[in-house]
Amino acid sequence: MRELSMSRFYYAKVTLAALVVTMSSGVAHADFERGLGLYERGDVAGAVDEWKQGAEEGNVVAAFLLGHMYKSGNGVVKSDRLALPYFLQASEAGHPAAQVQAALYFYAGNEEADIDQDYTLAGFWFDKAALQYSGEAQYYLGVIHRLGQGVPRDRVEGLRWLLLASKKAHVPAFLDLAEIFARGEGVVEDPIKAAMYLDLARRYVDPAKAADVSIAQDDLQRFIPSDSQLEGHRQAEIWVQASNAR
């Protein structure tokens, strides 16, 4: 997950998101804008004060950013206990990325935030975000259903969510699908599909996490003959071209 030592490019995207959220909801966004300006000038403490005011007035993106800052310790004392309430505030207002963050707290549990592991609550927030097309949330719903975490185990439903996540080029979904089709876990073994998803994972992985793909490839190599690897590569090319054409 991307850390919150954020670049200006990320903040530019967030600014657009803030305008959409605040203008559609009628909530003033002056505090958020002032905070953004302060942050970009290096005044993190001033930005936090402005965003806290914005969050108190209902600015969803301000609450989301505060949650991330406290979670990562970006310019503030790192604190999951302080991060979670901001994520929950933004989640209640319908912010999908905040819903994923809140879900992750419940999925793993967090002693500092005084949160026990709770798959049911995690699934609730993942579901909210997944219905807003969050690939990460769709991936976790796939895992939850395939493993029966807080829900009856359902490989078909799990596969459906993983396939949806893969359409967003979500690398963990590619890797899970590669294993599912290589080993025939609840599906007919399909080494070509397994090879395709491994190829896609290699193409889209963050270089810092490339080792995860290498490990998966080593684990699944014996299930995928060389001719299947070639055809999988060809189908991955077709997938990428179709994705870029959208």
The structural domains of the chain, with segments of one domain joined by +, span 1-93, 169-246
- How many residues does this entry show for the chain? 246
Which overall architecture, per CATH, does domain 1-93 show? Answer: Alpha Horseshoe (1.25)
Q: What is the DSSP letter of 115?
A: B
Phi/psi of residue 101, each to 5°?
-60, -45
pLDDT at residue 29, rounded to an integer: 66
Phi/psi of residue 198, each to 5°?
-65, -40
Rounded to an integer, what distance in angstroms lies between the CA atom of residue 178 and that of residue 127? 24
pLDDT in tens, 2-29: 333 333 333 333 433 333 343 334 444 6
pLDDT at residue 117, rounded to an integer: 97
Whether the per-residue pLDDT at 159 is higher than 90: the answer is yes
- Residue 85 — very low, low, confident or very high, per pLDDT cuts 50/70/90? very high
- Residue 245 — very low, low, confident or very high, per pLDDT cuts 50/70/90? low
Rounded to an integer, what distance in angstroms lies between the CA atom of residue 21 and that of residue 210? 35
- Residue 246 — very low, low, confident or very high, per pLDDT cuts 50/70/90? low
Whether the per-residue pLDDT at 57 is higher than 50: the answer is yes
Rg (C-alpha) for the chain, rounded Å, is: 20
Q: Annotate 22-47 with b (16+ C-beta within 10 A) or e (fewer).
A: beeeebebebbbbbbebbeeeeeeeb
pLDDT in tens, 197-216: 999 999 999 999 999 999 99
% of the chain with per-residue pLDDT over 90: 76
Q: What is the DSSP letter of 63?
A: H
User: For the whole model, what pTM was predicted?
Assistant: 0.84
**DSSP class per residue in the chain:** ---SS--HHHHHHHHHHHHHHHHHHT---HHHHHHHHHHHTT-HHHHHHHHHHHHHTT-HHHHHHHHHHHHHTSSS---HHHHHHHHHHHHHTT-HHHHHHHHHHHHH-BTTTTB---HHHHHHHHHHHHTTT-HHHHHHHHHHHHHTSSS---HHHHHHHHHHHHTTT-HHHHHHHHHHHHHTSSS---HHHHHHHHHHHHHHS-GGGHHHHHHHHHHHGGGS-HHHHHHHHHHHHHHHHHHHH-
Residue-averaged pLDDT of the chain: 88
